[in-house]
Structure 1
Amino acid sequence: MSSQFELAQNPTDAISAVKFAPKNPDELIVASWDRYVYHYDIQADHGGKLLQKFEHPQPVLDACFGRDDMEAYSACLDWSVRRIDLKSGELTVMSRHEKGVRSVIFSATYNLLVSASWDSTLHIHNLNSPPGTYTTITLPSKPFSLSASPTKLVVAMANRSLHIYELDTLAKATAQPTIVDVEPWQRRESSMKYMTRAVACMPNDAGYASSSIEGRVAVEWFDPSDESQSRKYAFKCHRQNQDGQDVVYPVHALAFHPVHGTFASGGGDGVVALWDGVAKRRIRQYQKFPASVASIDFSSNGKFVAIGVSPSFENGMEDLPDGTIKVFVRQLSDSEAMGKKK
């Protein structure tokens, strides 16, 4: 049976990220423009329980768990990347960029924390090294989204460009904590005509999906062979017919199911859809949420999906109406996110 509930204590400003803990599927962190990272136990009470919240000097644009369920990292508009000790509440600055930090991601395989900033740099932190030790990689343009597979890091940037790095190369680069010229494994241009909004890697290490501000998703494979590249495709989604007009919405969020390899997309239309990227089919579409879908994440066991909802730029609102900022948690049935049978 599927069931869905809303978290009892939601953030007070736009949601930038929802992320499940790597091991415990009941633990969730939420990053918000209200300057807090929230830590929840989604099963503790009816509507979940807010365990703690961690104040930052500026809005938090992203967050992720680290080496275990008691460690998180945040990307802040004050240019800083911070470690959050979820037990003691202590915040430690890992590095400072020269502009706001847009994304932060952790690779358990290589023990690397990667942050991406609007100063067009990546900071690569080897978590075996002390805070303040990191390697800087310069990007050709502003990064919008990061995602990691078991061996690759995909950086989606302005000008529809994507860089794919091999994580073992980045790990070796951290041996010299300076600015280094690390060549990407592959440079690609998005197959979509408009700005990339989000990117998410397949859990099986085969490729990634990316989305645009113009209601499209592209599915691509890492393998550079002509055969693999001929499989890549893009499709239209998150569009609604209003009074005979096709209204197109940005696709803000993408997330792959860790077990079935299907993926979810969330758009400015307030809709979440599940897709089978191999069969090129939509599996299902959920009911419309009260505002734009900002972030989606599946729990590590694939039994829950968290959906962060808040008005976005397409809503054109200066003041956010009450009741439009919410985090929903859906418990998935066993077959709900399974791909289509051949």
Structure 2
Amino acid sequence: MDSLKEFELVGPPTDGITRVAFNRTEPLLLASSWDRYVRLYDVKANHELARFEHYGAVFDCCFGNDQHTAYSGSLDRRVRMLNLETKTEKILGKHEAAVRCVSYMPEVQLLATGSWDASVRLYDDRSSEPETKRIEVPAKVFAADSVGHTLVVAMAERQVHVYDVRNMDEPMQRRESSLKYQTRTVACMPDGEGSYLSSSIEGRVAVEYFDPSPKSQARKYAFKCHRMTHSGVDTVYPVNALAFHPIHGTFATGGGDGGISIWDGKNKKRITMWNTFPTSVASLSFSGDGQQLAVAVSYTYEEGEKDHPPDSIIIRNLEESDTRPKRPAPDK
């Protein structure tokens, strides 16, 4: 491993890593995993700062409004607020089944959660009764992400709901995923251009637009990625991870093949691709300044039970050329 390009965090989770999440302003990283912990790392010092134990596997985590607050959702059905400064926690609420995803929305200072109990809930941790909204959805929630007031919820059976969290009584849009197979994850473009990504177990990524007009919908597209040829046979891997670069608007994908690619979605081009890791890429997160990429290298069981390398978190130091869209060639 080239230490100038990337390094491994000391003290990684000991079982499947479900999420890595950089803080927006500080060199701090959260990691959740099947070993029942959420860990907080100082990336610059390469040191674990805090650890929070849950009663079951932790499926998701995210930072709140600052570097001192985080949230988690777990197989134990609980939604937690974690005080990273005092190393204490508060139970905000409880679903009827595993909490699959958590997404903090700074514009409205609310936390959105999605669960296998086929519900979406909103929490305001400033209130004495934090749960502010509970809605039933048609199927298990697999993934969710938000931008501004918009929340995208991806469910089983390729169903997608788009909500304005200021009025959650009805979704703004009910959609069927452009991808033919089960949704793996979703990510909203942070620049407010009105688009989001979804990925699936079939080795594809879809670029979607919120605007329902025919002109806007004509822009959406899907592409193949994270495929390898073994002995002449094309092997398709799930796209487990999506992450937008905070400055350039390009995005990274990580797959069950252990590979990472950076894409220029507007020009439909791949900017760069890195050599594969020894096992699956489970989660990705860019630092707030866009100069580092956190990579959760953790087997995601796309090939069933088998021996696999230990879990690790790799921090990749990025060059500008890794993530900046390539300029079109000048006309001759």
Is this a same-fold pair by TM over 0.5? yes
In the alignment, is the contact (CA less than 8 A) between 1:221 and 1:229 conserved in 2? yes
Which of 87, 90, 107 in structure 2 is aligned with 1:89? 87
Conservation of the 8 A alpha-carbon contact between 1:93 and 1:131: no
2:220 equivalent among 232, 236, 256? 232
Whether 2:192 is the aligned partner of 1:190: answer no
Once the two structures are TM-superposed, the CA of residue 339 in structure 1 deviates from its matched residue by: 1.3
Secondary structure of the structure 2 residue equivalent to 1:279: coil
* Equivalent pair of 2:124/2:130 in contact (CA under 8 Å): no
Measured in 2, the distance between the counterparts of 1:151 and 1:114 equals 11
Partner residue of 2:36? 35
Please name the residue that 1:12 is paired with: 14
CA-to-aligned-CA distance 1:16-58 (integer Å, 9 cap, x gap): 000011221x1001001000001000111xxx11111111111
| 1:165 Cα offset (Å) | 0.7
Q: Describe how 1:82-231 pairs up with structure 2 within 5 A.
A: 82-130=80-128, 132-170=130-168, 182-205=169-192, 206-231=194-219
Distance of aligned partners of 1:20 and 1:88 in 2 relative to their CA distance in 1, 3 Å threshold: same
Q: Read off the aligned partner of 1:310 and give its amino acid letter.
A: S
Q: 1:303 to 1:132 in 2, by over 3 A?
A: same
Partner SS, residue 159 of structure 1: helix
Retained in 2: the 8 A contact 1:15–1:308?
yes
CA distance in 1, matches of 2:4, 2:146: 29
Q: TM-score, normalised by structure 2?
A: 0.95
Q: Please tell me whether residue 329 in structure 1 is matched to residue 315 in structure 2.
A: yes
Corresponding letter in the other structure for 1:307:
V
Q: 1:292 is matched with which residue?
A: 280
Letter in 2 for 1:33: W
Runs in 1 of length 4+ with deviation above 6 angstroms? none
- Give the C-alpha shift of residue 132 in structure 1: 4.2
Whole-angstrom distance in 1 between the partners of 2:57 and 2:132: 23
Structure 1 unpaired stretches of 5+: 171-181
Equivalent residue letter for 1:118: W
Tell me the distance in 1 between the aligned counterparts of 2:320 and 2:23: 20
Specify the code of the residue in structure 1 equivalent to 2:305.
Answer: M
Amino acid aligned to 2:174:
R
Code of the residue aligned with 1:157 in structure 2: it is M
Identity of aligned residues (%): 46
Q: Kindly indicate whether the alpha-carbon contact (under 8 Å) linking 2:29 and 2:40 is maintained by their aligned counterparts in 1.
A: yes
In 2, distance between residues paired with 1:131 and 1:49?
35
CA distance in 1, matches of 2:110, 2:310: 35
For the residue of structure 1 that corresponds to 2:302, the secondary structure is helix
* Structure-to-structure mapping, 1:37-76, within 5 angstroms: 37-44=38-45, 48-76=46-74
Residues 83-138 of structure 1 show CA distances to partners (whole Å, capped at 9, x for unaligned) of 11111111110000000100001000110101111000011012332354331011
Matched, 1:22 2:9: no
* TM-score for the superposition, normalised by structure 1: 0.92
Moved more, 303-312 or 122-131: 122-131
**1:95, 1:131 within 8 Å by CA — same for their partners in 2?**
no
* One-letter identity of the residue aligned with 2:114: A
Paired residue type of 1:5:
F
Q: 2-side partners of 1:227 and 1:73: how far apart? A: 38
Distance in 1, matches of 2:129 and 2:86, equals 17
Does structure 1 conserve the Cα–Cα contact (< 8 Å) formed by 2:262 and 2:322? Answer: no
| Unpaired runs of at least 5, structure 2 | none
CA RMSD between the two structures: 1.4
| Residue in structure 2 matching 1:305, options 280, 293, 303 | 293
The secondary structure found in structure 1 opposite 2:166 is: helix
Distance between the aligned counterparts of 1:37 and 1:276, measured in 2?
32
